[in-house]
Amino acid sequence: ALEVREHHLARTYDLVVRGFLLAAQRAVRLMQAGGHGRIIAIAGHGTDFTLPNYGLLGSAKAAVEAWTRYLAAELALSGQEVCGIARGPHLRAIRRDGLKLIADGAERIAQFPVSDDPAEFGPQDVVICALKAHQAHEHAAKFAPLLGRHTSVVTAMNGIPWWFFHGLPRRDSGA
């Protein structure tokens, strides 16, 4: 964590967190405009433990998971259909207690189906795959049942570290 520089932080959070949130917001607006929709986010195990030199990506991953919980609570409380994928203690806690949202001094509890098996939820309108590239193959069979004829898949590939393009010539789009 001490080696992280400001520009590394900005690049990583822009790619991982901002990309996820903007894609999810856009998908929700489209579903709300159509009067119905099912959205699900799938992420890896990046926040289940700490690893050396992983603080920046691990914290970005934790931010994506936190945004996912906020989105799930807000959508469920607004009447949207929400399906949750969780593991271990998070799965048990959400099943038992739901997700608590505190806004404007009021506490509300969002209850929705949650499982560690994506196949339980069937085809979704939008699947946001926030797995790292090397995890996608391992988990593909698990989220295949989420894909229907009209499912949109957003690959919010996180895991491209700040140094991925280091040393390559910069190519500005001019935009």
The answer to whether 54 is a known catalytic residue is yes
Measured distance CA(134)–CA(9) in Å, rounded: 22
Cα-based torsion angle of the residue sequence 3, 65, 17, 58 in order, rounded to the nearest 10 degrees: 20
Amino acid, res. 68: T
The partner residues of 130 in beta bridges, in order of sequence, read 43
Candidate list 13, 54, 132, 142, residue with the active-site label: 54
84 close to 110: Cβ distance less than 8 angstroms: no
55 close to 162: Cβ distance less than 8 angstroms: no
CA angle 77, 79, 81 (to 5 degrees): 105
Nearest to 14 by CA among 73, 66, 86, 63: 63
The answer to whether 13 is a known catalytic residue is no
DSSP designation for 48 = S
Measured distance CA(54)–CA(76) in Å, rounded: 32
Q: Would you name the residues annotated as active-site residues?
A: 54, 61
